[in-house]
Amino acid sequence: MTTQIFYLKGSSEDEVAIQRAAHVIRKGGIVVFPTETVYGLGASAFDEEAVLKIFRAKGRPADNPLIVHIASLDQLYEVISHLPVEEETLRKLANWLWPGPITFILPRSQKVPAMVSGGLSTVGVRMPAHPVAQRLIELSGVPLAAPSANLSGRPSPTRESHVLEDMSGRADVILLAGRTPLGVESTVIDLTTSPPRLLRPGPVDPVRLQELLGMEIEINDAARGLITQERPVSPGMKYRHYAPSKSLILIEGTEEFVLTVMREFIEIHPSAVICSVQTARALGYEDHVLVWGEREDLFSAAKNLFELLRQAEKLPVDVIIAEGVNEKGIGLAVMNRLRRAASEVIKRTSL
């Protein structure tokens, strides 16, 4: 397949490229586009054949559902059958959090083919905040079913080079607009259960969600990335989302504990280290250290994580060692992704 690639510059010329992409969507094609979280691979959510092309292009299992992206609240009512919560509650959530990095699981309307949701009776819906994503949905005139634009089993793409690596020759059109600002996928919350259940932590802090909902939400071990659910509520959780080609060892604990374990590994194996500035400095290991930023800057950790994992895999090392971060706010999303990618977690629970 030949792929048409457009580099968007934030100027008026972008419109022509986005129009071209929208035309391709209307004809049943598939298009890579930037969002504020990660790049997505989209097709018309109402076109079953086009949606099938997405599963094929990614090599994605058919039972792992896609998120439907909308540009207006009117489109929300096209893709859901009814509201499982008070309309007032949903309006409040949408007013405060959309457009933005959060996906709501709601009952699916008949208009959305079951294939989009991997056969489930629900559908994940998100209104992205990126101007290119919004314009593409508007010009296409339909909601876009879109997973992250990586090959299945690879980290989600946050840079142009990642998209080109994974999707050249697989998508009809690729729209490139630099790095994605947040770098980690949207928060996914199921509103069809009582209490609402966090299925995937992301940039929206669960504490903020609880405030807006006025109730506790369920955050179980699967959401924290501690276990893989046997009968998953969110099919995506049963797959080891991303399994690096080299062993990834995650170390959780005090600074001293992390440094001690890292030193032991470095001595025995050629290692790549993914860590904070502070740890890099204290470790004094120059060879293959990949730094995300200050330890408490959890947004930097999220923004850089997938890129550092892709870099680490390419280094001439046997092992990748990563430092854990604080589980608060977006840190919970970072830990969920790291724990699910890790082949081993080394943790000090008490002194």
Residues 110-139 that bind Mg ion (CB under 5 A): none
How far apart, in whole angstroms, are the C-alpha atoms of residue 57 and residue 171? 7
Q: Which is nearer to ligand TXA, 237 or 275 (CB)?
A: 237
The answer to whether 218 and 196 are in contact (CB under 8 A) is yes
Binding at 188: pick from ligand TXA, Mg ion, none (beta carbon under 5-8 Å per type): ligand TXA
Smallest separation, CB 272 to ligand TXA (Å): 25
Question: Counting contacts by CB under 6 A, is residue 75 touching ligand TXA?
Answer: no
Question: Which position among 185, 252, 307, 323 is part of the footprint of ligand TXA (CB under 6 A)?
Answer: 185
Site residue total, ligand TXA (CB under 6 A): 29
The answer to whether 245 and 262 are in contact (CB under 8 A) is no
Using the rule CB under 6 A, give the single segment among 7-15, 33-41, 219-227, 271-279 that binds ligand TXA: 33-41
Question: Counting contacts by CB under 6 A, is residue 217 touching ligand TXA?
Answer: no
Question: Which position among 186, 276, 279, 336 is part of the footprint of ligand TXA (CB under 6 A)?
Answer: 186
Smallest separation, CB 271 to ligand TXA (Å): 29
- Interface map 235-264 toward ligand TXA (x if CB under 6 A): xx----------------------------
Q: Which is nearer to Mg ion, 233 or 315 (CB)?
A: 233
Q: What token pair was written down for 345? A: 């977690």
Using the rule CB under 5 A, give the single segment among 41-49, 143-151, 167-175, 290-298 that binds Mg ion: 143-151
Smallest separation, CB 312 to ligand TXA (Å): 21
CA atoms within 13 A on the CB side of 211: 7
Q: Shortest CA distance to 170 belongs to which of 55, 61, 63, 69?
A: 55
Question: Counting contacts by CB under 5 A, is residue 148 touching Mg ion?
Answer: yes
Residues 114-173 that bind ligand TXA (CB under 6 A): 117, 120, 122-124, 126, 128, 146-148
